[in-house]
Amino acid sequence: MFEMEAGKNEIFVTAPGKVILFGEHAVVYGKPALAGSLDLSTFVHVWHKDQDICLRLVDFSMTLHWTIKQMAESFGGFMCKDVHDVAMFSAEDIERLHSNAQLCVPADQRTSVDIPAVLVFLYLYSSIVGSKGITQLLPLDVEVASCLPIGAGLGSSASYTTCLSAAMLKAVDAIGKKGLNSSDLELVNQWAFSAEHILHGRPSGVDNAVSVFGGLINFKAGEITPVKCPVLEILLIDTKVKRETKTLVDKVHKRKSVWPAVVQPVLDAIGAITDTVQHNFNLGNTDFSELTQLIDMNQGLLSTLGVSHPKLDEICHLAMQYGFSGKLTGAGGGGCAYCLVPPGSVGLEELMRDLKQKGFCCWRTNVGRSGVLLHKNVEEMRQSKNNIPKCFAK
Ligand code: PMV
């Protein structure tokens, strides 16, 4: 049995968010999409306590406590026997988890368990840490903070489920004996995917795959394939307009039902753009002038599908004035856009200044770096990332 000693054996984990570079919406109809890991990550720090379990969600300004007894009584039914038998929760299981969670918090804090991040924690803690047996539950303090905007289509939830899965698996010594090997990553991915069901009902698995394995992946009809590509620099821009993926997917579906002969060729063209980009990457050809034209075309086609937004159009037009190409990423209707930053570009600072003046948030970041990482200590964690939440910075 792994023993966490106070002050020692702290666990530090980071896991990146994702950006869809090409192919969103068409992917719903069996076309390929390309998604890559971002330099923006979620951070988790776990350390041993004398008693109780504590979850600090820094971005929600929320701290919750449970006693070991409460955990054992309320969530004993969720403990798995072997961490390699990853549970897949049904809707009824999630409902049961939710009602048990409500009984565990004071009446004035009941709404906190409506926050899916809390349920995900209870699920992963009780399933994974509980796998050692009900008498072996560890008193842990778990602190989480993220650089990713929530609900903007950048995979913030998958980076959270990935980080927590890795941290809980590490706490019971199931992974990370010498860094993270491929079977460790596979296990983290299975748990993260399983936890994503609590958040999204029927997730595609792209977000957690990117967060766990990093790099760039091709996603087509449920199949996930790594793609060799250079690390790409992008400017990521948040419109701060909230949107619901489901509403936008439904919108495209409606358009397709009304005008199948118009919409199908648009989806085919988006698929052809993604195939072209991937083909070039496979050949080791990163022709930035071609990539930027393909980005422009993809944005035009998404606009035709009705999933752009005046703020997204404004960003793309502004980018064009400075010679950059941008498109929405994810579901659209708000959320984020990205602009490709080819090496040696000029005018980026000016573009960023204008975007900020217009009230947008933007980050200069890279696509295609590492996935989930276990860090030896806080220093190493800080050094490995360009963007760090305040609570983990010096
Ligand atoms: O914005 P996100 O991360 O929810 O991306 C949605 C991508 C879609 O293609 C629009 C939907 C999907 O399930 O693939």
**Mean pLDDT across the stretch 362-382?**
93
Residue 135's pLDDT is 78
Q: What distance in angstroms lies between residue 25's CA and the mean position of ligand 1's atoms?
A: 7
Residue 271's pLDDT is 97
49-53, 55-59, 88-92, 120-124: range with lowest mean pLDDT: 88-92
CATH of domain 11-227+369-392: 3.30.230.10
Q: Is the pLDDT of residue 356 over 90?
A: yes
> Which pLDDT band holds residue 304 (cuts at 50, 70, 90)?
very high
Q: What distance in angstroms lies between residue 17's CA and the mean position of ligand 1's atoms?
A: 14
Which residue among 18, 20, 150 is best mutated to probe the pocket of ligand 1, counting the most ligand atoms within 8 A of its Cβ? 20
Helix (H) or strand (E) holding 338, with range, is strand 336-340
Q: What distance in angstroms lies between residue 220's CA and the mean position of ligand 1's atoms?
A: 13
Q: How high does pLDDT run on average in the chain?
A: 91
Q: Report DSSP state, residue 387.
A: -
CATH code 3.30.70.890 for 232-367: yes
> Which pLDDT band holds residue 4 (cuts at 50, 70, 90)?
very low
Q: Provide the greatest CA pair distance for the chain.
A: 65
Burial, 69: exposed, middle or buried (Cβ in 10 Å; 0-12, 13-18, 19+)? exposed
**Mean pLDDT across the stretch 127-135?**
86
Residue 2's pLDDT is 39
Q: Is the pLDDT of residue 200 over 90?
A: no
φ/ψ of residue 96, rounded to 5: -65, -40
Is 196 a pocket residue for ligand 1 (Cβ < 6 Å)? no
Delimit the CATH 3.30.70.890 region(s) of the chain: 232-367
φ/ψ of residue 340, rounded to 5: -75, 140
Higher pLDDT, 184 or 199: 184
Q: Is the pLDDT of residue 119 over 70?
A: yes
Residue 1's pLDDT is 36
Residue 8's pLDDT is 57
Residue 191 CB neighbour total at 10 angstroms: 27
Q: How many residues does the chain have?
A: 394
Q: Is the pLDDT of residue 283 over 80?
A: yes
Delimit the CATH 3.30.230.10 region(s) of the chain: 11-227+369-392
Active-site positions read 157, 207
Which residue among 238, 249, 329 is best mutated to probe the pocket of ligand 1, counting the most ligand atoms within 8 A of its Cβ? 249
Contact 42, 158 (CB under 8 A): no
Q: Cα separation of 167 and 37, whole Å? A: 19
Higher pLDDT, 55 or 3: 55
Residue 50's pLDDT is 80
DSSP letters along 176-217, please?
Answer: -BTB--HHHHHHHHHHHHHHHHHHHSS--SHHHHHHHH-SEE
pLDDT per position as a tens digit, 233-269 = 999 999 999 998 889 999 999 999 999 999 999 999 9
Higher pLDDT, 315 or 224: 315
pLDDT per position as a tens digit, 27-85 = 999 999 999 999 999 999 999 888 899 999 999 999 998 999 888 888 877 888 889 98
Is 337 a pocket residue for ligand 1 (Cβ < 6 Å)? no
pLDDT per position as a tens digit, 334-354 = 999 999 999 999 999 999 999
Is 330 a pocket residue for ligand 1 (Cβ < 6 Å)? yes
